[in-house]
A and B are shown apart, each in its own frame.
Chain A
Amino acid sequence: MKLRITAFSCFLFFSAVGQAIEISGNIASELRYFPEEPVFFGASRFDRGSSLSLSFAPEIYHEWNEGERSIIFSPFLRWDESDSERTHRDIRELNMLLVQGDWEWRLGLGRVFWGVTESQHLVDVINQTDSVENIDGEDKLGQPMIQASWSQNWGVLDLFILPGFRERTYAGERGRLRAPLVVDTDNPVYESKSKDRHVDYAVRWSHTLGVWDVGLSNFYGTSRTPELRQRGYKLIPHYNLINQTGLDLQATLDEWILKLESIYRIDQQNNGNKNYAALVGGFEYTFVGAFETDADVGWLVEYHYDDRSLDATTPFQNDLFTAVRVALNDAESSELLAGAFVDLDYGGYSLRLEANRRLGDRWKLSLEYQGFNNIDPDDVLYTQRQDDYLQAELSWFF
């Protein structure tokens, strides 16, 4: 009887809103091949060779009031053959949106992107990086938030209350692309007494003035980037309280796009010894219809600077990124990006290649190559010097 009532109410619910519920997403299988042996013991389990991984990313969306109210739910699941830490799940989004005149409210787990540059996302500080997904730092974990966005003719003001902290994900013992010691994600240390319950705040003003798009932001709360300190045979992530001010600026001229992102971070601990500034800036020049074809060929150059210099915790203390991007503008949306980061202090370089193409209406093939070459023992990337990989991902969309 109970089952029948449940079934009946389900039926009522879905017939009421059923037509407006949209389900989409993708299932992907990814194969990574590491031509070199891992540097560290533990990872040797799968030696040189390939590792398979599967992911599932559905999205359930419902809107009403002509889109002024909506609910979105997008979970994410990954299974990885080799690394139990890379086998993980997350709720990327589970939130409700309410639009009222000039105001927009969002409540729940969400994802926010700030910034303009391509090779590093310095000012993008709201969401934690899901670093086991990819080393490009573009995959993020869902962040609990209350967001209010106010749209005026002087720009958009975004206010965030961020209750609850998400820890960064790290490769496990049998994973590749990791430090010599495994990061102990079960025992993080927080500066805040309320640990991962600390409420963070952020504000951002953004505006478009002619060719300029500008954003000014401030974040106060637990740093998304931990300091890793050794304890025994493990690395313990220490999450400090920080105040970070950010600027992002883009000038869109005809074939030139100029970009700049800069931050100043105040670390409450250590009497300001750890305060620092960093920037990434450069340009993208596009040859439209290159070689008398439909293709666009873009040339990207971005310079990275961190005033902690050789003490920087990121690999981008004094580096130059340069890349070529080709978009064929064909029916399959074929794209290719080939680039290199060159470390101007240490002389090492890492190569990156990304290519993708649609196959039919529902499939997409993506290839990725990451190479680490001539990495200096003092470079942050040294631990990954033998983690060159080639990756092929086939995704099916529904």
Chain B
Amino acid sequence: MKMTSVKVVAGLLFMAISAGVQAMSAEEKGLAIAVEMDQRDTGFHDMTADMVMTLRNRKGDESVRYIRIRTLEVEGDGDKSISIFDRPRDIKGTAMLTFSHGLKADDQWLYLPGLKRVKRISSKNKSGSFMGSEFAYEDLSSQEIEKYTYKWLRDEPCGELQCYVIERVPAYKYSGYTRMVSWIDQTEYRAIKVEYFDRKNSKLKTLKLSGYNQYLDKYWRPDEMYMENHQTGKSTRLEWKNYRFKTGLTDKDFNKNALKRIR
């Protein structure tokens, strides 16, 4: 996680607490909320999880993908991760290694098991669909503070909880969105809902996150993420299973050799 602006923001936070939140501008308040979210999610070191992704088209036809994810937290930069595809069976064994970097383009390699080939790929496709789903690569990538500018919009109830509603505008190149609006619960700083607006600023998708559990007494993770595309009528349900933290993964598990041998 990027630490550059943290001190400044910690100062802002202190001001917020001492002077009362109302004294901050909407931008400062939005940023302070993002920083608090980030702080609460720092220090997990590494994480592994299994993902079941169910794609559903307008007619109701479903198609399922199984993906395993390993993530390594990197101090002072974006996270490193490997995604291993188990289903559909024709792409079984395909794996992707990503070194994410805040505003700079990510480094990405794809392993093609048929040819035993590791191929460096362009990470420009941030806005592209991940595995044909309603999730874009940018929706699932490491969320660094400097990747967006923030603005607090309002506070409002979200279900039984009270939420901050903040607007994020991507600061990185090649995003498919003009902005996103997120509902963040005020007690645990968990994302409850996100609305995505396309390049023409019309509402494109809504993401709902549910079934939050806390791991290691600190890290909140959802069991389900449901993304609905309002323009195409398609949807994707992402179920998370077997979250494990601090499993002992190191840098050596996130290089091209590891990508080639991983199963």
Contact = CB atoms under 8 A, between A and B. Distances in A.
A117 B92 CA distance: 24
A95 B205 CA distance: 47
B14 interface: no
B209 interface: no
Contacts of B127: 288-289
A208 B132 CA distance: 29
B169 interface: no
A337 to B, nearest CB: 14
A253 B173 CA distance: 13
B64 A361 contact: yes
Given A24-B89, A113-B115, A331 B63 contact: yes
Interface string B161-202: 000000000000110100000000000000000000000000
B226 to A, nearest CB: 17
Contacts of A332: 132
A113 B124 contact: no
Nearest to A212: B120
A252 B120 contact: yes
Interface string A341-382: 000000000000000001001101000000000000000000
A361 B53 CA distance: 13
A167 B174 CA distance: 48
Given A329-B128, A361-B64, A63 B252 contact: no
A237 B179 CA distance: 64
A311 interface: no
Contacts, number: 104
A362 B64 CA distance: 11
Contact of B87 (A99, A112, A296, A361): A361
The size class of the interface chain A forms with chain B is 35 or more
B263 A358 contact: no
B254 to A, nearest CB: 11
Contact of B132 (A22, A252, A255, A330): A330
Interface in B126-146: 127-129, 131-133
A151 interface: yes
B117 to A, nearest CB: 4
A307 interface: no
Given A257-B122, A288-B127, A329-B128, A26 B256 contact: no
B227 interface: no
Given A24-B92, A138-B115, A208-B256, A252 B122 contact: yes
Contact of B263 (A22, A102, A156): A22
Given A26-B90, A329-B132, A104 B120 contact: no
Nearest to A363: B90
Given A395-B90, A397-B89, A294 B129 contact: yes
A361 B88 contact: yes
A255 B121 CA distance: 10
Contacts of B122: 252-255, 257, 286
Find the residue from A70, A206, A208 having the highest chain B CB count within 10 A: A208
Contacts of A101: 252
A250 B120 contact: yes
A149 interface: yes
Contacts of A206: 256
B256 A149 contact: no
A250 B124 CA distance: 16
A97 interface: yes
Nearest to A63: B263
A224 interface: no
Nearest to A362: B89
Interface in A109-125: 111-113, 115-116
B107 interface: yes
Contact of A97 (B90, B117, B261): B261
A154 to B, nearest CB: 13
Contact of B128 (A138, A254, A289, A397): A289
Interface string B26-65: 0000000000000000000000000000010100000110
A99 B256 contact: no
B124 to A, nearest CB: 5
B132 A296 contact: no
Given A61-B263, A254-B124, A294-B129, A102 B252 contact: yes
A213 B119 CA distance: 10
A398 interface: yes
Given A67-B263, A329-B132, 10 more contacts: A113-B115, A113-B117, A208-B120, A253-B122, A254-B122, A255-B124, A332-B132, A358-B88, A361-B87, A361-B88
Smallest CB-CB A-B distances: 10 pairs: A397-B89, A331-B132, A113-B117, A329-B129, A113-B116, A254-B124, A294-B129, A364-B90, A288-B125, A331-B63
Interface of B: 55, 57, 63-64, 87-93, 105, 107, 115-122, 124-125, 127-129, 131-133, 173-174, 176, 252, 255-257, 261-263
6 contacts: A24-B89, A254-B124, A289-B128, A333-B90, A361-B87, A395-B90
